[in-house]
Amino acid sequence: MIKFSSLAFILFFSASILIPQSTNKEFRSTWVITWEYINGGSSVEQNKARIRKILDDHVKANMTSVLWQVRQAGTAYYNSSYEPWGEYAGSSYPGFDPLAYATEEAHIRGLELHAWFNVFASQSTAPGAPANEHPEWVCRDASGIAMTTSRALSPGMETCREYLLNVAMEVVRNYDIDGIHLDYARWNEYSNSDKSERFANEKEEQKLPDWAISDEQIKDLEENKAGRYLYDVDHPFSAGVPAGFSSWDEWWRFSVTEYVRKLHDSIQTAKPWVRLSVAALGKYNWSGWQGYGTVYQDAALWFNEGYIDQLTPMHYHWTTGTAFYGMLAGSCPSCWSQFIQPGIAAGRLYSVGPPSYILKDDNIFFRHAEIVSSSRAVNWVDGFQFFSYGSWRDMEYWETAAKTFFN
């Protein structure tokens, strides 16, 4: 006869298999940029060791995930059948598949790996890159002149969107990733002015992130809207607002939304457990530099309608705990809370993006603790993604985080 205690254990064990296990785990991650994990001048073993060190650092800090850049400027850092190898991998096969290796090593350590995918930014003109193979996809100004620096593909062209969907889905189908993380899922922020071209060249020379922008550039966007690269060969300014839309703004937002929506549908069909997240501008629809009105990125709509599974804004305008709380749920209308209640009610994830690179440059890295603490006071915040790994590495912050706010 089975003793009662043994029977109880069997019943409990069986129930634990049938009942879905809790996934209430705080998202803790950094953005890992291509040049932080691979170098075309390094050996295979050196690059693999660099990848392992990055992942070990995340474990050391009690983090749960990594945002791993796999596509940049229209080039790939994995075995792609669509695009050429990126320049930081030496513009050729580096002797191993970095994404496959990083994913396997991340899972060995209990980390999630989210493949960070730059969408419409496509500066490279290397053979095989979309700006080279399909120059007609490159955005144009009101006069029909295409971009020549910081090239971006047009979200308005269905053939371009379909291509980018296929590129992303190849990664989803071929790799055991936990998520696809979209960056630059928006229209570009450039115009045909000398100021804008100078800014674009400075960004490229200094390796500034895609979302970096100066006050001078913001002013240029406001004063030179006719010169912005917001049109394409199928939708020239001269033809007027596309049929079925009441304004260019409406069409610009629809175009980006269509890409995000269709990608999410495709992921749900192929691998519904793969999470789609989007790096949105830190300000949704307020101020001069914002997602909704400047680059036509309606992140709140995507979150509320379920076109994405996780919203990961880049909160780089704020550097104190008090400011973070205010931006999230403080005095509206300049806060996220009022715009995303349906998505919160549906249980979708919202994680906070502190600017580690600014905190480092301003010698206030210690403020990470108060930013994390104040953000946790907002009950719908589900975690953090810090930009970027390099700042944490330079500050050797892993053990400090593990002993304090990530203990």
Number of H helices, E strands in the chain: 17, 9
- How confident is the model at residue 207, as a pLDDT? 66
Which strand (E) or helix (H) includes residue 75?
Answer: strand 75-76
CA 406 to CA 392: how far, in whole Å?
14
User: 25-403, what's its fold?
Assistant: TIM Barrel (3.20.20)
| Rounded Cα gap, residues 173 and 204, in angstroms | 32
Instruction: Report CA torsion sign: 244, 288, 353, 99.
Output: positive
d(CA 67, CA 28): 10
Distance of alpha carbon 1 from alpha carbon 403, whole angstroms: 50
Q: Look at residue 12 in the predicted model and tell me its pLDDT.
A: 34
Q: What one-letter code names the amino acid at 67?
A: L
What is the per-residue DSSP string for 242-256? PTT-SSHHHHHHHHH
Say how many C-beta atoms besides its own lie within 10 A of residue 388's C-beta. 19
d(CA 150, CA 404): 40
d(CA 156, CA 263): 15
Give the separation between CA 329 and CA 341, rounded to whole angstroms.
Answer: 11
Look up tokens 């170098």; give the residue.
39
What is the rounded CA–CA span in Å between residue 98 and residue 42? 13
**pLDDT value, residue 16:** 35
Residue spans of the chain under pLDDT 50? 1-23
Instruction: Spell out the domain ranges in the chain.
Output: 25-403
Q: Burial-class residue 401 by CB neighbours within 10 Å (0-12, 13-18, 19+).
A: buried
**pLDDT value of residue 260:** 99
User: For 264-289, how does the pLDDT look when each residue is reduced to its tens digit (9 = 90+)?
Assistant: 999 999 999 999 999 999 999 999 89
Contact 42, 395 (CB under 8 A): no
Burial of 393 (0-12, 13-18, 19+ CB in 10 A): middle
- Per residue in 1-21, pLDDT (tens digit) is 333 333 333 333 333 333 333
